[in-house]
Every structure is written in structure tokens, then in C-alpha cells.
Chains A and B, each alone.
Chain A
Amino acid sequence: MSPVRVTWSRTIGRARSLFSTGFAISGFLAASAALFAFRLDAAEGVSISVASVWASAVAPFLPALAAFLAMDVWSDELQSGRIELLLTAPVKEREFTIGKFLGVFTMLVFATFISFATMVVALRVYAPSALAGVGVLGFCPAFFALMLQGMLWCAVSVAMSSVFRHAAAAAFASLILLVGIPRGGWAALLAWAPLGRPAFGEMLFDAHVVDMSSGLFSSGTVLSYLFLSSFFLFAASKNIAVCRFGGRGGRSLRLSTTFALILAGIFTGLAVELVNRLDTKMDLPVGNVETEFSARTRGVLADAHGEMTVTCFLPRKDARFRPVGHFLRKLQRESASLGGIKIDLRFVDPLWDLGPAERLVRLGATEGSLVFEKGRRNVVLPLADGYGERICASTIQSLTMPPQRRNVYWTVGHGEAARDEYGAFGMSDIARELSREGYRNVAIDLAGDAQIPSDCALIVVAGAKEDFSRAEAGRVDSYLRAGGRLLVLLAAADSGGVASLLPGWGLRPSPATTAGAKSISGTDLIVGEFSEHAISKPLQGSRIVLERPIGFMPSAAAETGSGADRIEFTPLAKAGTAVVAAAVERGVGAGADLSIRPMRIVAIGDAGFVMNGQLGARANANRDFFLNCVAYLSGTDASVASGAETNVLATGLDRVARGRFAAVVAGAVPFVVLLLLMAVAARRRRRG
């Protein structure tokens, strides 16, 4: 047997013989299951996979479990003096370290698997609808994500155990390193830079779990975890090598080890930076598989008439060929069953179908794209942008409706989120979505003498961090007085931009952020209460996810005046009693004078709620909410997007069933596991 295997086996054997292992694992199971049951309630109706909810409930407790399981793997050897016997064996320090690391990691995998199995079985019994479209395989990315993180936590904990002679000190140091510094540092960062809050978004580790469990894999993230784990294992091995000579000479070794660790740290940092720069993303269709088309898509297909050709310009050997073909056929069948537009599907392989390929290239298509053609009009849709239901429905809609472009002006120059920024903190995804919906995105700099053009359908102020100048605010004010439309995404009540203008128009931002019990990651807020307003009514039954939003109240200007001067404040979305999104309108019911264009402002208390990172992490109703706002403000009420009706988490648990579910997963199962592990430990101790 290899030394790694022998050490691995010994580490597991020792853990099995300890009563504390049973307490640690059952405690982990109980805590994670309780949080899962709690978050399951919060996620009811949110477009999120149950696997993501499970992973985000397990992830916070993994560092503690790893620290507990690993705390004495080295420290006990050091304290008892057994290290002398170990180090006279013909085994390299790194083999010992890897064996011990694998032993701890195996225990971690075991505990996480028990948690996974418990959840799946309990959900099958109590809430089978929550598993619809997910299945056991849907949990694999979530499990992988947890194990990737668990691997790093174990490596760090083993390294700490090699530093401290006391197990408790090692566990404490691990917890400081794994929980205290990241989470405390994150909280401090948010407190220190509140204006940058939307840009920071969720905590990195939580976001990784949510992303990966949703099927969004990033090579940079995966490799970063591997590199960092390797570094900590290397550090542990080196530390044990120093222990061999600890306190008795070997000064040159200690110096060389320190030098090696510094070099390894620099190398790891560079490698992490490199793999993140060369990042490749992969989106696995798991956990949130769409089972049927939404009402909006069905509406678009039913309303469209005539014939349309959809060409898939893709080599047949391409990995996307089958899923894209499957999706297009499904779209074709759906349209036929609704009696809508007749879709003629064609598949052109650029390597073999040279004639049709040449024609598509003349249309501007490149390999790996979909070409929608209706009459003389056509739209080329690169598959790299996605080929989902919403994108195709928007494309079909834009081709079947009369060409009409409405200009959406995005203010710039005040630290706003950029509509052409493709990173996690940019707005490129939602801007592209608007383009598909028939809007034209234009940047506007209100500084200088620039006036707001007359073709402006609405102005978007997306999380401005700096105040508008008096002249700029005056221009916006004049524009609103003339019946202008404004969409404001606020990062904080005093975050600048046009915040100072709002009270005059009936809206008063609350100085505090809104917190609530309904949260998935702990930092976000699930909002499910919507008013009967044209924007929010279609979202009934859906959930939007906001990051610590600010609230709004009607100001003194609201609900005063009469006729054309009356300003009406309407809450759109509520979290408890706080209004986190609101609309104000002046000139409502001004009579039969249709020439009056009512002023409209919609304010949302989270500047980052449609940033790329947020939209990518969760397929929630945020996108619909934003599109509805834009449609309402621009006056195209007829094409207001519908809220998500499919693809949402639905457990169907009432209060009693939820209590029973929580009692089983967080009480009964951990207790049984505790008894079993105690029995194993007692049996090992009774032998002989």
C-alpha cells in the first residue's frame, strides 16, 4: 500500500473512533438542513433551482466542519510526540500531508453526501414538485461546487493543524482564516465602501456556489480553487519538514522553506490571476431545465402570422448542434399547435452546404449563429449570445411587428453602471435584451449644453454614484415637467445622481437599507409582494432578488394637487412593510385631453439588480421586472413582459408540512446519524 493510502486510511479510522466526529457531522447536518428548510421557504416562487438553495445552505457550514475534522490531524501528532515516529518512516512529508488531507476530505464528502441524500429523499416524500425538472443529476453541479470549496477548506485546515500544537488553536485559526477574514472582511468592505456595494455584490465564495450549482462553470474559478488548495497543502508539507528539525538547528532549512513558501505564494497568485484572465465559462443545462414555454413566448408565437425561416448555421459536429436543433423543433411545434407563425427550419453546415452557407454569409451570418428571416427582413443571432426562449421570442416579435425603434437614453459621467460593460458589474446583458425588444440604447451626457433629445422614450440612471450638477438636474427636471420618463436604480439614498430630485416628484428614498428574513445567500432579499400596477401585476407569483435594497416613501409632493398636477405614488414591490420599488405618475386621469403625456418615474432600490452578474447567477424575475418598467415608461404597455410562470421553485408545502419537513431533515436524520456514528466509535473503543 502506498503511504498516502495508509495515512488516508488511518485518518479516517481515527475519526471513526472519536465521539466528537459524530457530534460534528450530525451538527453540520442539523444546521445545514435547518438553513435549507428556512431558505426553501424564502425561495418559494423564485426562479432558482432547489439544488442551488441546498448548496447555498450547506456552504456556510463546510468551513466549520473542515476545521473541526482537520484540527488534530497534525497538531495531535506534534503535541503527543508521535511526529518523531512518523518522520522516521520512509515517507515524504507531502505523502503524509496528502493522505491526511484526503482522509479529512473523505469525511467531508461523506457528510455532504448524507446531507444531499437526506434532502433528496425528504423532498421526494414531502415536496416532490420542488424536484421537478431537476432530478438527482441536477444536484451534481451543486455537489461539485461544494466539494471544490470543501477541498480548499480542508487544505487550509490541514495547513493550520500543521502550524499549531493544540487542536483547538488550529481549529480557531482555520475558522478565522476561512470564516472570520472572508466574511468579516467582506462586511467591513461593504461598510467602508457603501457606494461600491452594488459593484461588490454577493460575497465571492457564496456567489461561486450559487453560480456553479446553477450550472454556470468558470474555468478560472475551478482552477483557482485547485491552485489555492495545492498551495496550502504545499505549505503544510513544508511546515512538517521544518518540524522535523523544529527548535533543533535546521535554521537554513527554515529560511529555505520560508523562501519556498513565498515563491509558491507568488506563483499561486500569478497562476490564479492568469487562469481568471483566460477564463472560459460553461453553462450546463442542469437544475433549472425549462419544461414549457412561458405565456409571453406563447403569446408572441400566437400573435405572429405568416411564414418565417429559421436557419441554424452550425457544423453538425458542433456540441451545440443537437440541443439547438431540439430547441428549435420544440419552438416550431409550439407555434404550430398555437396556430401562430409557420416556422420553416433549416440546418446549414458551413463545411458541406456551401451554397446556402454563402447566402447566409452574405446576410452577415457567421458560423455558429441562427438566422431568422421573414420576407426581406432578417435577424442574425450569434449562438454565443444564447439561443433561449426569450431571445428567440423577442427576435420573432421584432420581425413580425412593424419596425419601431424607441430610444432609451442611459446617463453617463456619474459613475453609472455601463450598458456596454460585459463584466459582472456591467449592464450589457439587459441592454442587449432591450435591443431585442425593439429599443435602441443610447448614451447621454447631460454635462455642458447637451439637451435631452425629443426622441427620448425614457432616461435610465443606473446606479449613479456622483450627484448631477445643478444644470444637469435642471435639464432632467424640465424634461420630466414636459412629460418625461425616468427610470432610476438607486444604490443608496444619498448615492447621488438624481436622488435629490426625487422628493420634488413625490418619491423619498429611505436612508436605511431594507433587510428581511427571506434570503437565499444571506445578503440578498427575496421580494414577492407586488402591487396591481401595470408593471408589477404580471409578476404576481414570481420573486425578484435584490441586494439589500433601499426603500421609498411618498414625499410631501405626492398625492397633492389635482388634475394634471396630481402626483400619484404607487408601490410596486414590497419587502415586509418597506417599499423597495415605486412608481410615480403626474397627470393621471387628467381628463380626455389626450395631448397630455403623463410624467412617469420608476425608482428601484437596488442599482445592481439587473447587472450581468446578478442576471447570470439566477434566472429570476429581475429581468422581467426591468423590462416591464421600460415598457411602462416608454408607453408600449401592450408589450409588457409577463412574469415567469414556469421554472420557479414550488414546494407546495403548507406550514404544517414545512414544520414536519424541517423536523425530519434537521432533527430526526442528524439524530440517527449521531447515534450510528456514536455506535461505531463505541464499538471501536470496546474492542479487545
Chain B
Amino acid sequence: MFEVRNIAFTYRKKQVLRDVSFVVSPGEVVCVIGANGAGKTTLLKVLATLVAPDSGVVMVDGQNALARPLRYRRQLGYLPEHVALYEDMTVKEYLNYRAALKGEPVKRIRRRVDEACEMCRISDLLRAPIGSLSAGLKKRVALADALLLRPRVLLLDDFLAGLDSDMREAAGSVLSAAAAFSSVIVTGHELDDFAKWATMFFVLKDGVIASSLSAVGVDRAALRGRLAAVLKGGAA
């Protein structure tokens, strides 16, 4: 169980996040949506321990994750908004390096890398230098990196941006597979895609969760319309 309680964050006297609270159960894929500047990326940075909140706690299985950040990061997979990888490495070298850095024993690294590559459909790119890959493929490599050690919490910032239509189609199955071991939180603007596989939506508006919508058992078209209405300022 991943729980966010009363997170607040101020940047240069502007309150970017206010009293943000939500719960993500294992197996859930949560989408945080909102207009530009709503605080989506900041929220994920707080959850990824890249930014210290003014107040609030992040609980993983009842434990305060921010109090023991090193232990929490072992359970964390994070895909940043802007993907920057080591261009001089091959995909395999990069993923091996990342797995080793995350503390995976050497003998298990190969299996982990193969699993992640299969999930992200980059098994045939293992020997390719990262510098020669397109932006979309780099994003897939970064996604494989985030999925490497089967993290308990998977944070994907602007996940679908830059991915081709094939990968967007496949994203649902990737995240469904990831949800088997992770609480997945995704941000972005691609409502059509999100509506196909998300289980829960949080709409962030001026740093506050303005609305939450469950997508389970809801007609996708209706859901899509309600989300659009909320984003435009109407009620859910």
C-alpha cells in the first residue's frame, strides 16, 4: 500500500502543492493529470525524494518512506520527464550499470535486465549504443531502467510523451504487468491512452487534488468526457 498524506510544497513563496493526499493499492495504475504547471512533476519529484516537501508524509506499507529514504529508494522505480542517459554506453551496459547501482547481486542482473527489456520490447537493442537511439527508444530504455528491480513503487513522469503509437498501445500491457508488483503512478496529458488502462485518476489543479475518478467498471468514453470536463473547470 502506497499512501501520500498531506503533502505540501512551496517554491519561491508560491505554494506548488497543497495538502495532497491519496492512496495507491498494489495492482493499481494511478494517473495524475492536470494542466501545465498544476504540480504533477513536482509531486512526482517529491515522491521520488528529489525534492523535500514542506510537510506531509509518504507511507509504504505503513512505514514513513521519507524518514528512511535509502530503503525507500530501493523500492522505487522512477522515469523522469526529460530522459538523459549515458550516450557512450550500450543499452545492456547501461541497464547492467543501473541494476548494479541499485544493489542487485551480479548473478541476478542478467535475468533482471532481460525481463525489463522484454517488457519494454528492447531485447533486440541490447548491443546498440544509446547515442544511436531515437528519443522514443531512449524512453523505452529509461522505462526498462525504472522497471529493473520490480519496484514496489513506480513513478512515471510524462510517460507517453515521445513514444510511438505501437509503444503507446503496448504501454497498457506494460503497466498492467508492472502493476502486478508495483503501485504505479503516471502523469501526462494523453487522456485517450490513459483511459484505456488506468484504474484511478487524480486531477491536479493549482497544487490541489481537485477531483478523483475511479476508472474501474466505467465506460471509457464517458470517463474520457468527465475527465475533459474536470480539466476544463467543470465538476466531475
Contact = CB atoms under 8 A, between A and B. Distances in A.
11 contacts: A1-B100, A6-B97, A13-B89, A85-B142, A87-B49, A248-B11, A249-B10, A249-B11, A249-B53, A253-B52, A687-B90
Interface string B37-54: 000001001001111111
Interface string A86-99: 11111110000000
Given A84-B80, A88-B73, 4 more contacts: A91-B70, A248-B11, A250-B52, A688-B90
A3 B101 contact: yes
Interface in A1-23: 1, 3, 6-7, 10, 13-14, 17-18
Nearest to B145: A85
A3 B78 contact: no
Interface string A216-260: 000000000000000000000000000011001110010000000
Nearest to A79: B84
A80 B82 CA distance: 9
Contacts of A82: 84-86
Contacts of A683: none
B189 interface: no
B42 A89 contact: no
A81 interface: yes
A685 interface: yes
Interface in B90-111: 90, 93, 97-98, 100-103, 106
Given A249-B52, A688-B128, A6 B100 contact: yes
Contacts of A81: 80, 82, 84
A300 to B, nearest CB: 68
B5 interface: no
Contacts of A687: 90, 127, 129
Nearest to B78: A88
B130 to A, nearest CB: 9
Interface string A593-606: 00000000000000
Interface residues of B, dominant DSSP: mixed
Contacts, number: 89
B: contact size bracket:
35 or more
B84 to A, nearest CB: 4
A235 to B, nearest CB: 21
A688 B132 contact: yes
A250 B93 CA distance: 34
Contacts of A17: 88
Contacts of A10: 86, 97
Contacts of B85: 82
Contacts of A86: 101
A502 B234 CA distance: 102
Given A92-B70, A688-B128, A244 B50 contact: yes
Interface string A657-688: 00000000000000000000000000011011
A474 to B, nearest CB: 78
Contact of A1 (B71, B76, B80, B106): B106
B9 interface: yes
Q: Closest 9 A-B residue pairs measured CB to CB? A: A90-B73, A90-B74, A17-B88, A81-B84, A80-B84, A88-B78, A6-B100, A82-B84, A688-B129
A685 B129 contact: yes
Interface of B: 9-11, 42, 45, 48-54, 70-71, 73-74, 76, 78, 80, 82, 84-86, 88-90, 93, 97-98, 100-103, 106, 127-129, 132, 142, 145
A129 to B, nearest CB: 47
A684 B131 CA distance: 12
B80 A85 contact: yes
Highest count of chain A CB atoms <10 Å: which of B11, B53, B74, B80: B80
B156 to A, nearest CB: 12
A89 B45 CA distance: 13
A687 B70 CA distance: 35
A6 to B, nearest CB: 4
Contacts of B142: 85
Contact of B71 (A84, A88, A90): A90
A81 B54 CA distance: 24
B103 to A, nearest CB: 6
Highest count of chain B CB atoms <10 Å: which of A13, A82, A88, A687: A88
B64 to A, nearest CB: 16
Contacts of B145: 85
A244 B129 CA distance: 28
A582 B76 CA distance: 79
Given A89-B73, A92-B70, A688-B127, A245 B51 contact: yes
Highest count of chain B CB atoms <10 Å: which of A3, A10, A684, A688: A688
B52 A7 contact: no
B184 to A, nearest CB: 16
A84 B93 CA distance: 19
B102 A85 contact: no
A179 to B, nearest CB: 29
Contacts of A84: 45, 48, 50, 78, 80, 84
Interface in A65-82: 80-82
A657 B117 CA distance: 61
Given A89-B98, A253-B52, A248 B45 contact: yes
Contact of B51 (A3, A85, A248, A684): A248
A678 to B, nearest CB: 15
B80 A3 contact: no
Contact of B103 (A7, A80, A87, A90): A90
A6 B73 CA distance: 17
B91 to A, nearest CB: 9
B84 A249 contact: no
Contacts of B52: 245, 249-250, 253
B11 A90 contact: no
Highest count of chain A CB atoms <10 Å: which of B80, B84, B132: B84
A14 B88 contact: yes
A87 B73 CA distance: 9
